Amino acid sequence: MRRLLGIVLAAAVFLIAAPAALAATQTASGGNVTATFTFQGKFPNYHGQRLEITRGGTVAYDEPVTSNLCANDCAPYSAVTGKSSLEVVDLEHTGDPDVVLDLYSGGAHCCTVVQIFSFDPGTMTYVKTERNFGDPQARIVDLRHDGRFEFLTADDSFAYAFTDYAASGLPIEIDTYSNGQFVNVTSQYPRLVARDAAFWRKAFDAQAAENYQDSVGVIAAWAADEERLGHTAQVKRFLNEQAKLGHLNSGLSPQEPGGARFVSKLLRFLRAHGY
């Protein structure tokens, strides 16, 4: 069952691929903006990482790539995906493209660091905003096909919250970016949330049918999705029913609560995380 769950989780979050050979230079363009990311070395050791951004052929930014989130351990995210770490895209729908650089911190189940460089007319250069998305990759998508872009990811706070990583479920998360801030807009996409909830419920039902003894991770993700849809009463009723049936168990350790104690812990966790 654990092998099956690994496949299930890979479909829900964004599985990191094996290290790939890298070019020393990556370039992306949009409108009159061109970004060039250069680096030296190979996985997992890199140095000389630098980002240059030009506007209409004039250099507006040229600095070493640094991060407060992964210090000297930052690697190009292409080290684990084989795709370019760099995108130029109008995240704020202003007509002035932003530059997005993806970095990887290394380590087990960690971590995608996204850096966004937005043009500041006051200083005539680019200002950096960064966020650690944790283990899930954050993909830039246009979900409504309206020219406005979102970050499609999963809520990494659920990793290890109730069981080990392999058995943890991470509910869908959708963010937008504007004025240097990431904003969680997941509730604006109820169909995607409902689809994610159905995915986790199917995984849990399969576990329950096999009396699988590590089911709390996936049902936590289902409960989060359903809470986001406003189905609080249904969530509590179902969790209490499953607790009585003995289907809510954690394989992490004997100390990790199951049954009714798990239900109480999960509901507190959901409230604390804004669900």
Decide if pLDDT at 157 tops 80.
yes
Q: What is the pLDDT of residues 203-245, one digit of tens each?
A: 999 988 888 878 999 999 999 999 999 999 999 999 999 999 9
Q: Measure Cα distances from 104 to 81, 94, 137, 155, 174 in Å.
A: 10, 28, 10, 17, 20
Secondary structure class of 212 (helix, strand, coil): coil
Q: What value does the mean pLDDT take over residues 194-208?
A: 95
Question: 141 and 275, same structural domain?
Answer: yes
- Which residues are within 8 A (CB) of 77 and not within 5 positions of it... i.e. 6 or more apart? 85, 102, 103, 104, 112, 137
Q: Say how far apart CA 230 and CA 223 lie, in whole Å.
A: 10
Domain boundary among the residues 133, 150, 180 is at 133
Q: What value does the mean pLDDT take over residues 72-95?
A: 85
Phi first, then psi, for residue 124 (nearest 5°) are 60, 35
Question: 206 and 122, same structural domain?
Answer: no
96 in Cβ contact with 124 (< 8 Å): no
Domain boundary among the residues 76, 105, 133 is at 133
Question: 25 and 11, same structural domain?
Answer: no
| pLDDT-based confidence at residue 253 (cuts at 50, 70, 90) | low
| pLDDT-based confidence at residue 258 (cuts at 50, 70, 90) | confident
Domain that residue 242 falls in: 1-16+137-275
Q: How many structural domains does the chain have?
A: 2
Question: 149 and 224, same structural domain?
Answer: yes
Q: Say how far apart CA 136 and CA 25 lie, in whole Å.
A: 25
Question: 117 and 222, same structural domain?
Answer: no
Look at residue 82 in the predicted model and tell me its pLDDT.
73
Distance of alpha carbon 152 from the chain centroid: 7
Q: What is the pLDDT of residues 87-97, one digit of tens each?
A: 999 999 999 99
175 in Cβ contact with 189 (< 8 Å): no
Task: State both tokens at 23.
Answer: 């070019």
Task: State both tokens at 56.
Answer: 């209409």
Question: 183 and 219, same structural domain?
Answer: yes
- Among 45-49, 98-102, 254-258, 271-275, whose mean pLDDT is lowest? 254-258
Question: 48 and 98, same structural domain?
Answer: yes
Question: 108 and 153, same structural domain?
Answer: no
Question: 219 and 171, same structural domain?
Answer: yes
- Among 65-79, 108-122, 183-197, whose mean pLDDT is lowest? 65-79
Q: Say how far apart CA 65 and CA 263 lie, in whole Å.
A: 44
Question: 165 and 118, same structural domain?
Answer: no
State the SS3 of 115-160.
EEEEEECCCCEEEEEEEEEECCCCEEECCCCCCCCEEEEECHHHCC
Torsion on CA atoms 175, 178, 180, 182, rounded to nearest 10:
-10
Q: Measure Cα distances from 231 to 47, 217, 222, 223, 226 in Å.
A: 49, 19, 11, 9, 5
Q: What is the pLDDT of residues 161-186, one digit of tens each?
A: 999 888 899 999 999 999 999 999 99
Domain boundary among the residues 99, 114, 133 is at 133
Question: 154 and 251, same structural domain?
Answer: yes
E strands within the chain?
A: 25-30, 33-42, 45-55, 58-64, 75-76, 86-89, 98-104, 112-120, 125-134, 139-141, 150-154, 172-178, 181-184
Question: 121 and 141, same structural domain?
Answer: no
